[in-house]
Every structure is written in C-alpha cells, then in structure tokens.
Amino acid sequence: MKSTLTLVAYTLGDVNGDNEVDVADISSLSSYILGREVPGFVEKAADLNEDTEIDVADISALAYLILHPETALKAKARKVAEK
C-alpha cells in the first residue's frame, strides 16, 4: 500500500494567499466573517489567535501583526517555544 503526504505551507495572516500580509488580508478576513465568498481564502492563516474560531479577534490580531510585525512575531516565537 502506498501512502501520500501533502504539505500545505501558509504564512500566518496571509488569508488571501497572495504572499503578502497587508490591509487586503484584513478586507478578505472581514468579508469571510460576514459570510461572503472569498476566492483563495486560507483558513489556517486566518486563525491568528489559534482559538479554532475565525472572528473579529483575528482581525484585531492581523491589524497588530501588520502594524507591529517584529513584536508580533517575537510573541509567536515565545508561544511556540513554551509548548
């Protein structure tokens, strides 16, 4: 029997999959939360606070990530190291 493993890479916050984390991602995330269809939406990248829900708290986290990338990424690295 042959097994196949598929890896899908994503960047946290790049919810529209364009390889950039910017205000366009906030727009896509907002649209998704409002129930609109968002082509190319990356759910894994959208759950920024990792609470298994995609909601307004993730928009806030995404805005913080865009405005303070170094601080946000250092906090994420500390969180991963603690696990």
User: Model confidence over 28-40: pLDDT tens digits?
Assistant: 999 999 999 999 9
Q: What is the pLDDT of residues 46-78, one digit of tens each?
A: 999 989 999 999 999 999 999 988 877 666 655
Cα end-to-end distance, the chain, whole Å: 35
Distance CA 83, CA 80 (A): 5
Residue 48, judged by CB atoms within 10 A of its CB (0-12, 13-18, 19+), counts as buried
Give pLDDT, residue 76: 63
Cβ–Cβ under 8 Å, residues 17 and 32: no
Q: How confident is the model at residue 80 (pLDDT cuts 50, 70, 90)?
A: low
Longest dimension (CA), the chain: 49
Asked whether the whole model's pTM tops 0.95, one would answer no
